[in-house]
Amino acid sequence: MVHKKLLSWVEEIKNLCGPEQVVWCDGSEAEYGRIMNKMVEDGMAVKLNQAKRPNSFLFRSDSSDVARVENRTFISSKNKDEAGPTNNWIAPDELKKTMSDLYRNCMRGRTMFVIPFSMGPIGSPLSKIGIEITDSPYVVVNMRLMTRIGSKVLEALGDAGEFVKCLHSVGAPLEKGQKDSTWPCAPIEKKYISHFPDDRLIWSYGSGYGGNALLGKKCFALRIASVQARDEGWMAEHMLILGITNPEGKKKYFVAAFPSACGKTNLAMLIPKIPGWKVECVGDDIAWMKFGSDGRLYAVNPEAGFFGVAPGTSMGSNPNAMMSISKNSIFTNTALTEDNDVWWEGIGYDAPKGRIIDWTGAEWDRSGKKLAAHPNSRFTASASQCPVIDPEWENPQGVPISAIIFGGRRAGTVPLVYQARSWRHGVFIGSIIGSEVTAAAIGLKAGVRRDPMAMLPFCGYNMGDYFEHWLELGRKRDASKLPSIFCVNWFRKDENGKFIWPGFGDNSRVLKWIFERADGEGQAIDSEIGFIPADRAIDLSGLNIDSKMLKLLFRIDVNEWREEIESIREHYKRFGSRLPKELLEELNLLDKRFSRNK
């Protein structure tokens, strides 16, 4: 291999971080087995019951290192305005200085792995290559499931191909003879998840968990890629991709963006409740999309695996996810049963008899005072193991998108589904989605946390400019070929605080209407907020829901929307002069429609 830039970067990092040895990952199964076995030997991983869960492993993290750390995540663009009001910013020179000091000899006593990886099918025009340098063997095995790694990526890179530099260290150098901990990491104030968009560079230090450490995911495929997408005229979005086939065999693809805890993975693998319909999964988290020469929007899933939240995943809520993790999987921070299988709250059955080890490694007290699995405990599994993986999921051209769905978790105000009048109106809808937070939960003011396009923690540049990029992409296009844009809300509650809509498989009823609308059929009526399903346009056959509740599900309440409009005005203020005027116009139009109908 004679990629001079790559070789010299690896040499530079080796000199900076001072590892004991350097290993280039070939991505083979043998290599995976070797690294896993070593971690089991060293007590960092537990091999699970081979008969029940073949070739699967459990890891327990340090209790201080259990999730993405948004307050330690930085977008280090040239100036603060480039990063915008929604990102933490430190000047690049300053941040590089601070982190170089941390990186100096930080890999002492450890192996430095070089992982060539492709986001997207290798060789696809929509794919991009990254190189992650890491001192975490846990990262290597997870990257092998979550992305395409190894020699074949180096081949595709050639001797001058472009790549995104991703540097990661757990930030825990080992002295001679010092025993390693089972989950090395650095204290919170030394953790940095840093992005240098102008250099297409990621520097992550001090955490070994999830998106902090698996740098292909949020760091590259969203934060850096969103900047590349802006510069190159495409889209990097926090969206699932699904294929849906009607009983006549006609198929369409949708993408959907939701803030966290709205059941994205469940929707991506949904089993329809309406006979004859079929849903298949292309991806559950990220979509890279580009307009084709035919004027249509095409999407690929840049990832190759699922990194899903375990608690709540069951044969009831998501059987396809459960089957995806029946073997060859990695679990992090779930509980361990006496017969060496995993268990978590909401897995669909009580914890089996015998000793249960909780996520901290202690024996679990069954009185239920503490959770056995951490709420952000995860499974990692290859997408190819999903029983409903779409046959086109690795098509290098991507799949053509007919609808874009936005959603949030809203107890009131937002009806089950409505459709935007235009691309511009759809961008407006995407820019205002959010979920309610309770004051108790995070110590914030109770209310709606707006999470535009579900990209709040993932947009690598000024979010006002990001809205403009969305608008610009739609502006010059043949509107008839653009995907239609929809908003859904599965979470509306009645006056007793009970969810009205059953959700899960019944969401297929809403997908069916969206399918029909995208097909130029499906009956709708024009409302103040957009098109809503006409009477009986949503297929409710076999569903027991009373007409009063149904009304409530679709109610557009003037007073609620007055409040909503004020709250959107507040939200928009944040973006100052970078807010595109078209979005303000859309808001004013909405305001007017309600005034007219008063």
Could you tell me which of 190, 183, 216 has the C-alpha nearest to residue 202?
Answer: 216
Active site residue 25: no
Please pick, from the candidates 19, 171, 208, 210, the single residue that binds ligand SAT as defined by CB under 6 A: 210
Burial 340-379 (b: 16+ CB within 10 A, else e): bbbbbbebeeebeeeebbbbbeeebeeeeeebbbbbbbbb
DSSP annotation of 206 reads: S
Min dist. Cβ of residue 241 to ligand SAT (A): 16
DSSP annotation of 63 reads: T
Min dist. Cβ of residue 285 to ligand SAT (A): 7
Amino acid at 26: D
Position 263 contacts ligand SAT (CB under 6 A): no
- For residue 101, the SS3 value is helix
Measured in whole angstroms, how far is the alpha carbon of residue 393 from the centre of its chain? 17
Closest CB to ligand SAT among 116 and 216?
Answer: 216
Please pick, from the candidates 3, 60, 68, 374, the single residue that binds ligand SAT as defined by CB under 6 A: 68
Position 211 contacts ligand SAT (CB under 6 A): yes
Please pick, from the candidates 3, 168, 218, 421, the single residue that binds ligand SAT as defined by CB under 6 A: 218
Closest CB to ligand SAT among 203 and 418?
Answer: 203
Q: Tokens 């009063």 map to which residue?
A: 548
Contacted entry of Mn ion, ligand SAT, none for residue 210, CB cut-off 5 to 8 Å set by kind: ligand SAT
DSSP annotation of 499 reads: B
Position 285 contacts Mn ion (CB under 5 A): yes
Min dist. Cβ of residue 75 to ligand SAT (A): 15
Min dist. Cβ of residue 217 to ligand SAT (A): 5
Name which of residues 140 to 199 contact Mn ion (CB under 5 A): none
DSSP H helices, 386-462, are: 423-432, 439-442
From the list 210-218, 321-329, 383-391, 510-518, the region that binds ligand SAT by CB under 6 A is: 210-218
Question: Looking at 17, 166, 185, 262, which residue is catalytic?
Answer: 262
Closest CB to ligand SAT among 240 and 482?
Answer: 240
Closest CB to ligand SAT among 222 and 514?
Answer: 222
From the list 45-53, 130-138, 211-219, 294-302, the region that binds ligand SAT by CB under 6 A is: 211-219
From the list 209-217, 292-300, 480-488, 569-577, the region that binds ligand SAT by CB under 6 A is: 209-217
Min dist. Cβ of residue 407 to ligand SAT (A): 16
Could you tell me which of 588, 558, 583 has the C-alpha nearest to residue 572?
Answer: 583
Closest CB to ligand SAT among 139 and 482?
Answer: 139
Contacted entry of Mn ion, ligand SAT, none for residue 430, CB cut-off 5 to 8 Å set by kind: none
Residue 70 CB: number of other CB atoms within 10 A?
Answer: 12
Number of shown-chain residues binding Mn ion (CB under 5 A): 1
Number of shown-chain residues binding ligand SAT (CB under 6 A): 7
Closest CB to ligand SAT among 3 and 218?
Answer: 218
Please pick, from the candidates 96, 200, 217, 450, the single residue that binds ligand SAT as defined by CB under 6 A: 217
Position 237 contacts Mn ion (CB under 5 A): no
- Phi/psi for 164 (5° steps) reads -95, 130
How far apart (Å, rounded) are the C-alpha atoms in residues 396 and 413? 40
Residue number closest to ligand SAT, CB atom: 211
How far apart (Å, rounded) are the C-alpha atoms in residues 105 and 13? 10
Q: Which residues neighbour 354 within 8 Å (Cβ) at sequence distance 6 or greater?
A: 337, 338, 339
Q: Are strands 192-196 and 73-75 parallel, antiparallel or unpaired?
A: parallel
Could you tell me which of 384, 278, 262 has the C-alpha nearest to residue 325?
Answer: 384
Q: What size, in residues, is the chain?
A: 598
Name which of residues 447 to 506 contact Mn ion (CB under 5 A): none
Min dist. Cβ of residue 463 to ligand SAT (A): 18
From the list 32-40, 171-179, 277-285, 508-516, the region that binds Mn ion by CB under 5 A is: 277-285
Q: How many helices (DSSP H) and strands (DSSP E) are in the chain?
A: 17, 28
Q: Are strands 378-382 and 330-332 parallel, antiparallel or unpaired?
A: antiparallel
Residue 309 CB: number of other CB atoms within 10 A?
Answer: 21
Instruction: Write the interaction track for ligand SAT spanning residues 477-516; mark x where CB under 6 A is met and - where it is not.
Output: ----------------------------------------
Closest CB to ligand SAT among 211 and 464?
Answer: 211
In Å, the largest CA–CA distance within the chain is: 77
Min dist. Cβ of residue 323 to ligand SAT (A): 21
Contacted entry of ligand SAT, Mn ion, none for residue 111, CB cut-off 5 to 8 Å set by kind: none
Please pick, from the candidates 9, 57, 307, 418, the single residue that binds ligand SAT as defined by CB under 6 A: 307
Residue number closest to Mn ion, CB atom: 285
Partners of residue 149 on adjacent β-strands: 117
How open is the CA angle 138-140-145, to the nearest 5 degrees? 100
Alpha-carbon torsion (405, 320, 125, 197), positive or negative: positive
Burial 479-515 (b: 16+ CB within 10 A, else e): eeebbbbbbbbbbbeeeeeeebbebbbbbbbbbbbbb
Closest CB to ligand SAT among 65 and 135?
Answer: 65
Closest CB to Mn ion among 240 and 356?
Answer: 240
Q: Are strands 57-59 and 330-332 parallel, antiparallel or unpaired?
A: parallel
Contacted entry of Mn ion, ligand SAT, none for residue 211, CB cut-off 5 to 8 Å set by kind: ligand SAT
- For residue 523, the SS3 value is coil
Residues that bind Mn ion (CB under 5 A): 285
Residues forming the active site: 262
Binding site for ligand SAT (CB under 6 A): 68, 210-211, 217-218, 260, 307
